[in-house]
Structure 1
Amino acid sequence: MPAFVFKASMPHKIPESVLVVIYTPALEVLLIERADRPEFWQSVTGSLDAPDEPLLHTATRELFEETGIQADGERICLLDWQMANIYEIYPVWRHRYAPGVTHNTEHVFSVCVPRDIPIVLSPREHTRFAWLPYLEAADRCFSSSNAEAILQLPRQLAPSA
């Protein structure tokens, strides 16, 4: 009788995520290059681990996992823009989601950090990083929602009238 090996299937990604724009007081933006797609530059992104995971927790977790930056709520504070983008998931990545899922809801956050903060990339996710002036960073992003968030950075930081 043949032996059967059953592999535990990976759970599907939840089509709800965070985008964290990391910037300095001089409006330099940190971009990271995807390990699975050279020349695909982006900010920190990541899906919820569970449907009830708080968005701030997801943003804090992803920020640390992808860059080694620890948002402590005092010196390094995430700002929730209270903004969400709904976009079509690139076909190359749809296999990660349940069958029939074609769109993702992305919640935008930002965090201001000192320019000399140590960056520790997750090598399975990203290969290198670059600090760029915000306009140049927006031009380099492969994701239009990521680029738009970077372009909105000065407006998000301006004091409301």
Structure 2
Amino acid sequence: MSPKPFKIPESVLVVIHTPALDVLLIRRADADGFWQSVTGSKDREDEPLALTAAREVAEETGIDCGEASALAPQLVDWQLENVYEIYPRWRSRYAEGVTHNTEHLFGLCVPERLTPRLDPREHTAWRWLPWREAADACFSPSNAEAVLLLPQFVR
């Protein structure tokens, strides 16, 4: 069995929300109490960011917002990015010397509070919260900041 390839230090963060600005948060399986939006790295350097975002949403929640889906138009690239230091506990997933990640922000408006389908190896619980409460519950400062930006991006 070949070793698992290193993660690419370019990722997406997708704030899934309703028109009423309720936000879906999921709890990480590898860090109890760490609530977050959907996040994930590119699978390959040339993978389009929108494809990464749709893939991660499907993998982490079971919600289909891919190109041919009804929700595809609701996946919006906010044209914002964060560069942050990778937490030391997860740095071994990246190549030697990689210490920072570039995260691209997306929003996904769903019609109502949907019930996600979680992969228990990645996430152990989910909850919908009003946007301000969701921002307070996020473990990551960049995720909290993204949720606080949500009202600016709702059509």
Give how far 1:156 is off.
Answer: 1.8
Aligned-pair Cα RMSD in Å = 1.2
Shift of 1:108: 0.3
The one-letter code of the counterpart of 1:139 is: D
User: How big is each residue's C-alpha offset from its partner over 1:104-137, in whole Å with a ceiling of 9 and x where there is no partner?
Assistant: 0000000011224231011110000000000000
Q: Secondary structure at the match of 2:142?
A: helix
| Structure showing greater Rg | 1
Counterpart of 1:24, as a letter, is T
Which residue of the other structure, out of 15, 34, 39, is the alignment partner of 1:21?
15
SS in 2 for 1:81: strand
- The CA deviation string for residues 17-37 of structure 1, in whole angstroms up to 9 with x for no partner, is 000000001100000000011
Q: How many residues are aligned here? A: 152
2:76 touches 2:107 (CA, 8 Å); kept in 1? yes
Q: Which runs of 4+ in 1 moved over 6 A?
A: none
CA distance in 1, matches of 2:109, 2:31: 27
Aligned to 2:30: 36
Structure 1 residues not aligned, in runs of 5+: 1-6
TM-score by length of 2: 0.94
SS of residue in 2 equivalent to 1:95: helix
1:118 & 1:129 partners in 2: Cα distance? 9
SS at match of 2:64: coil
Q: Which residue pairs with 1:144 in the alignment?
A: 141
Structure 1 distance, partners of 2:26, 2:115, is 14
- Paired with 2:20 and 2:154, the residues of 1 have a C-alpha distance of 12
Residue 104 in 1 paired to residue 92 in 2?
A: no
In the alignment, the residues of structure 2 paired with residue 130 and residue 62 of structure 1 have an alpha-carbon distance, to the nearest angstrom, of 18
Aligned partner of 1:154 in structure 2 is: 151
Letter of the aligned partner of 2:132 in structure 1?
L
Specify the code of the residue in structure 1 equivalent to 2:140. S
Structure 2: give runs of 5+ residues left out of the alignment.
none
**1:7-156 equivalent positions in 2, closer than 5 A:** 7-73=1-67, 75-76=70-71, 77-156=74-153
* Aligned residues of 1:68 and 1:118 also touching (Cα < 8 A): no
SS state of the match for residue 135, structure 2? helix
Aligned partners of 1:64 and 1:70 also within 8 Å: yes
**Pair 1:148–1:102, CA change in 2 (3 A):** same
CA–CA distance in structure 1, aligned partners of residues 146 and 111 of structure 2:
20
